[in-house]
Structure 1
Amino acid sequence: MMPDVPQAPNALSPRQWLLVLVIAVAALMPGIFQIPAMDRDEARYAQASRQMLESGDLVDIRFQDVPRHVKPVGTYWLQAASAQILGGGPQAGIWTYRMPSLLAAIGIVAMTAWLAARLGGATAGVAAGIVMALALITGVEARTAKTDALLVAAILAAQIALHRIATHPDRPDGFFGGGLRSPAAFWLFHGIGLLIKGPIITLVVGTTIAAWCLWNRDRELLRRLYWLPGVALTLAVVAPWVVAITLKVGPGFLQEAIGHALLGKVARGDDSHGAPPGYHSLFFLLVFWPGTALAAGGAMLAWTRRISPDIRFLICWIVPTFVVFEAVATKLPHYTFPAYPAMAVLAGLFLAGGTGLIAGGKGRIAQRVLGAIAVLVSLAVAAVPVAAKIHLTGTVTPATIAATGVGLVVVVLMIRFLAELSLARLVQLAVGVCVFYGLTFAVVAPSLDRLWIARSLQPVIARAGSCETGPLVTAGFSEPSMVFVHGTDIRLSDATGALDILAANPICAVAVVERRQRDDFLAGVDALGLKVEAMGEVSGLNYSRGREIDITVYRVVTQ
């Protein structure tokens, strides 16, 4: 027999790691392969990554011929590498472009579990990992080919290193001391985060450092960060690409990325995403579900044990992040995602040894209120499969009924968990949520054809095309998913542009015309003396704009 492997203090056992990772995969993977390319950000990121493979240009970032200078290159490199390795090239399916986000999300779960176990023992680690794996925000970002899961993974790694530096001042590390918890690790992951989404990571770790130093009235942490070699390491990660893109396109990237994508969101609601303060605190109740059931207990534990350096660090991580993003004019639910691993750690610590904090008084009231909200959110989430199917098609299917049925079981499991706050009940809840996610994301969501307009157009366009590689043009429906699904050469235009392409290539061209452009298109067809035939129609919901659309596919009749 092999001898037992000794475990480090407060480390998870192999069986506990297996439990956390199995739940993470079961919660986060369903739908990765089945859900079509989503508008708008996912399709833009995936298409830009595809074009890197098509062109061989790994420096500049473009969506068709338009420069995409709003985010750095890190995510595009990872997506392009994933598509090349897993899919064999640029025409790989959307799932290959999602794989970096999925792996990053699983990494977030693992790091959250590891940190919680170090702070409060194995039970806390398992609980925190499960809470992070089940959170709606984690599930959405794991299934979406964009930056946010990758960014949070980099932030969490940097914060783990920063926590080690801040809470162990009696252990001199040196710049490279302490392994992945050293100052070198902090600055390395800071550089990686910059390469993924610019200075968002600087904001999160910077406010954590500032809050820690102010609260403790001590600047020792600043000294222990080794700024000169640290900044040099960050520059070594970031500078080569920044120099390369600047030499290639001039200052345009930095002007766009900093002037519009960052500073433009501070004072005003960018891209119609403005909201008043309180937005993120309200959405937390939804996007952290089902972990909201432990939110009151986690907050109570944080307050009562704030003298502990570990707990104080978590507070310095969470509170400034929320305050800053509540103050910024532009708001989206994922902006506060970087704070959620710390919240999951608090939830795990509470479940592992702090449930007595809510035995009476304000703690019990707060827990009951948050528990009631968690049950209401559970009911709302359970209703989504049937409600979405009825809203979009007016019918229900066995799959939607089954998904909502499992959702109602989750409601019961949530009530049981609230009645007995234990790890065993949490695991039972996790099993129910994973089955619900599997049915909803892998079966129900892909079947909602009216949402996936670009996919629905594929067979109609295939029937209309009389040439193998004829030009395809859209008039009035220009969502990025059309480019990812139908190819980089598709023209996104209007009625006039569609007429020009049909007139120039009447034998091969195909026009995809949205209803609002149809009258102008048909009038132009008559004026040009062309004759067209409708090859099919597709109707659906453009969820990016929140409006119903009807599309007709035309080709020129040449005989």
Structure 2
Amino acid sequence: MLSLSPALDRLAAMASASHARACALLLLLSLAAFLPGFHTLQPLDRDEPRFAQASKQMLETRDFVDIRFQDEARHKKPVGIYWLQSATVSAGEALGVPAARTQIWLYRIPSLIGAVATVLLSYWALLAFVGPRLALLGAALMAGTVLLGVEARIAKTDAMLAACAVATMGALARTWLDWTRSLAFVPSSRNWLVFWAATALGLLLKGPIVPMVWGLAILVLSIRERGFRWLKPLRFGPGLLLCLVVVLPWFVAIALKTGGSFFAESVGQDMLGKVAEGQEKHWGPPGLYLLIFFGTYWPAAAFAAMAIPFAWVRRREPQVLFLLAWIIPSWIVFEAVPTKLPHYVLPLYPAVTALLLLALVNGGIDRFRRGAVATALLVVLLPLALIGVIIGANWSLDGTLPYTALPFLALTLLVAISVVAAFRRSDFEGALWRCVLASLLLGIGVYGFAIESLRSLKLSPRLAEAARSVGCADPAVMTVGYREPSLVFLTGTNLAMGIDGAAAATFLNQPGCRIAFVETRYAAGFQTATAQSGLTPRLITTIRGFNLNGGRRLEMAVYARP
């Protein structure tokens, strides 16, 4: 059994001696948690390559107002993330990164920055509730959270959005706790600026989500106080003006460019569509987020569940009341909306962490409570189940095992077992630090090695590589039977989508360097059409893989015009 308590204790004491040291350690922990697989993970269909492709098209067209995926208007989210991704790719091009516009990791850099910022801002926010040592622990737990680790590696809005939400709620917490005389220090005079700058960025990233989170919390707390006087330090007048200065120019520009259709589609179809019904096969029943919480908030989820009795008993105290106002109203909204995606509740997880720490420091975690040890065993069960899935997927899809990942996965289980052992001897702080270590090991094993070994899932990269092997500088490409956005991103904006094998044959029969990807179901029609036209296409290779979105195996033949 691992014995890490003295080492962990010394590390926590050393790092929490100053805010600079704490932030330095959290930065290192965040990079250790988020970088494995960051560069090697293929574009993850469907959302990630849609965001990346739209950003790539901004660079191709130099139109930084409208948002498009190929010829289709992508009027779902505001422009913030596309600007950030375009900026990082432009920087990559300036630094000489080869084929920068098809390097998905460059588009992920804003997400990485957002995830690291979420960890550092969680430390800042938690300082309003607990001392530096526990705030450091809480931020480290956020770095180890499964959901934040996933979002750090996906080129879309949610990691950066979480950072904005934590910044606003950290500022709001200081305002509330100072009003209720629960804050041991006077908030900075720039607290209002943090609140409104993060709100403005959140509006440019994902519209009303950040204001919804703090707005619902303000409503609950103001009902308790029977008024809004406590909000005066946040300076709503100058703050709203700042938001208008930041967001209004693009909103006006997109309204003029699209004739107002952006707002009709983003609000009328995308946002209200998610409220009315589950969009894009993402429907889920109320309570789904509670069910998956033990996976998305792993490894600390089991201990957060143990803090619920403490939160209920102390619910009227200013600190606990604020955290419940942060969590419960927004959680109810997310559960009520039919469209369910795991990342929706990510902005609420720092508040869950704060409740866990308050329970820890106030004796609210009881090792002798009935079922407590059994609950702690969830720390072991999730990686055990994940290891089984990974081994099964490797064997069934590729006929091999993730040998390089197995040592890290075994170490993860060993450390997870030590978490339960530390909990049983009432070393709660040590158990939570071991949770962080278990998460780091799991991330290295899964993202660094296991997923990389799943060659069958890399259909789009392998098809794009086959197209490059033909030797044409800029070939025209069509795909039939496989239409994932990642293929558009990797092969080019002008990728044609054929409806059948005859369309692919007609496409190859036109002049120039041409390549067609034809799925097996359309092979007979393709062969018939090529025979009738007298065309003899050259078979470059046949690629077999598994399409996660379709949930089925695919076989793609790659043909070139003779």
Structure-1-length-normalised TM-score: 0.90
Identify the range of structure 1 (399-408 vs 70-79) with the bigger mean alpha-carbon deviation: 399-408
Change (3 A) 1:445 1:276: same
Note if contact 1:208-1:317 (Cα within 8 Å) is conserved in structure 2: yes
Structure 2 equivalent of residue 244 of structure 1: 253
Note if contact 1:59-1:245 (Cα within 8 Å) is conserved in structure 2: yes
> Which structure 2 residues correspond to residues 391-430 of structure 1 after superposition, within 5 A?
391-419=396-424, 420-430=426-436
Paired with 1:47 and 1:225, the residues of 2 have a C-alpha distance of 38
- The CA deviation at 1:27 is 1.0
Change (3 A) 1:188 1:95: same
Structure 2 equivalent of residue 286 of structure 1: 295
> Which structure 2 residues correspond to residues 173-252 of structure 1 after superposition, within 5 A?
178-182=188-192, 184-221=193-230, 225-252=234-261
Paired with 2:365 and 2:406, the residues of 1 have a C-alpha distance of 40
- The CA deviation at 1:225 is 4.6
Structure 1 equivalent of residue 340 of structure 2: 331
For residue 271 of structure 2, the aligned residue among 248, 262, 265 is 262
Paired with 2:328 and 2:382, the residues of 1 have a C-alpha distance of 24
Note if contact 2:409-2:445 (Cα within 8 Å) is conserved in structure 1: no
**1:53 matches 2:62:** no
Change (3 A) 1:372 1:432: closer
Structure 2 equivalent of residue 3 of structure 1: none
For residue 504 of structure 2, the aligned residue among 477, 484, 498 is 498
**Structure 1, unaligned stretches of length 5 or more?**
1-6, 172-176
Structure 1 equivalent of residue 321 of structure 2: 312
Structure 1 equivalent of residue 548 of structure 2: 543
Paired with 1:12 and 1:29, the residues of 2 have a C-alpha distance of 26
> Which structure 2 residues correspond to residues 426-465 of structure 1 after superposition, within 5 A?
426-463=432-469, 465=470
Structure 1 equivalent of residue 159 of structure 2: 149
Change (3 A) 1:512 1:243: same
**1:515 matches 2:520:** yes
Paired with 1:85 and 1:59, the residues of 2 have a C-alpha distance of 20
Paired with 1:66 and 1:387, the residues of 2 have a C-alpha distance of 38
Residue type at the aligned position of 1:119: F
**1:102 matches 2:112:** yes
For residue 67 of structure 1, the aligned residue among 63, 68, 73 is 73
Q: Aligned with 1:551: secondary structure?
A: strand
Paired with 1:15 and 1:201, the residues of 2 have a C-alpha distance of 30
Change (3 A) 1:382 1:462: same
Paired with 2:274 and 2:314, the residues of 1 have a C-alpha distance of 36
Change (3 A) 1:449 1:181: same
Paired with 1:417 and 1:486, the residues of 2 have a C-alpha distance of 51
Note if contact 2:145-2:439 (Cα within 8 Å) is conserved in structure 1: no
Paired with 1:516 and 1:315, the residues of 2 have a C-alpha distance of 53
Note if contact 1:296-1:367 (Cα within 8 Å) is conserved in structure 2: no
Note if contact 1:72-1:196 (Cα within 8 Å) is conserved in structure 2: yes
Note if contact 2:517-2:559 (Cα within 8 Å) is conserved in structure 1: yes
- The CA deviation at 1:146 is 0.2
Residue type at the aligned position of 1:133: A
Change (3 A) 1:228 1:20: closer
Note if contact 1:292-1:370 (Cα within 8 Å) is conserved in structure 2: no
1:226-252 alpha-carbon deviations (Å, 9 max, x no partner): 444332221111110011111112111
Residue type at the aligned position of 2:353: A
Residue type at the aligned position of 1:129: A
Q: Aligned with 2:42: secondary structure?
A: coil
Q: Aligned with 2:154: secondary structure?
A: coil
- The CA deviation at 1:98 is 0.5
RMSD between aligned residues: 2.3
Paired with 2:398 and 2:62, the residues of 1 have a C-alpha distance of 43
Percent identical: 36
Identify the range of structure 1 (230-239 vs 96-105) with the bigger mean alpha-carbon deviation: 230-239
Q: Aligned with 1:168: secondary structure?
A: helix
Structure 1 equivalent of residue 39 of structure 2: 33
For residue 85 of structure 2, the aligned residue among 62, 79, 85 is 79
- The CA deviation at 1:20 is 2.6
For residue 470 of structure 1, the aligned residue among 468, 472, 475 is 475
Residue type at the aligned position of 2:33: A
Note if contact 1:298-1:347 (Cα within 8 Å) is conserved in structure 2: yes
- The CA deviation at 1:336 is 0.9
Paired with 1:425 and 1:533, the residues of 2 have a C-alpha distance of 60
Paired with 1:15 and 1:225, the residues of 2 have a C-alpha distance of 29
Paired with 2:428 and 2:18, the residues of 1 have a C-alpha distance of 17
Note if contact 1:386-1:400 (Cα within 8 Å) is conserved in structure 2: no
Structure 2 equivalent of residue 373 of structure 1: 378
Q: Aligned with 1:272: secondary structure?
A: coil
Structure 2 equivalent of residue 4 of structure 1: none
Change (3 A) 1:458 1:344: same
Note if contact 1:413-1:429 (Cα within 8 Å) is conserved in structure 2: no
Residue type at the aligned position of 1:272: K
**Structure 2, unaligned stretches of length 5 or more?**
1-12, 182-186
**1:272 matches 2:278:** no
Identify the range of structure 1 (287-296 vs 407-416) with the bigger mean alpha-carbon deviation: 407-416
1:496-535 alpha-carbon deviations (Å, 9 max, x no partner): 4423321222x51110011222222222222322222321
Structure-2-length-normalised TM-score: 0.90
Note if contact 2:546-2:553 (Cα within 8 Å) is conserved in structure 1: yes
Paired with 2:235 and 2:436, the residues of 1 have a C-alpha distance of 42
Paired with 2:310 and 2:28, the residues of 1 have a C-alpha distance of 28
Note if contact 1:157-1:189 (Cα within 8 Å) is conserved in structure 2: yes
Paired with 1:67 and 1:539, the residues of 2 have a C-alpha distance of 32
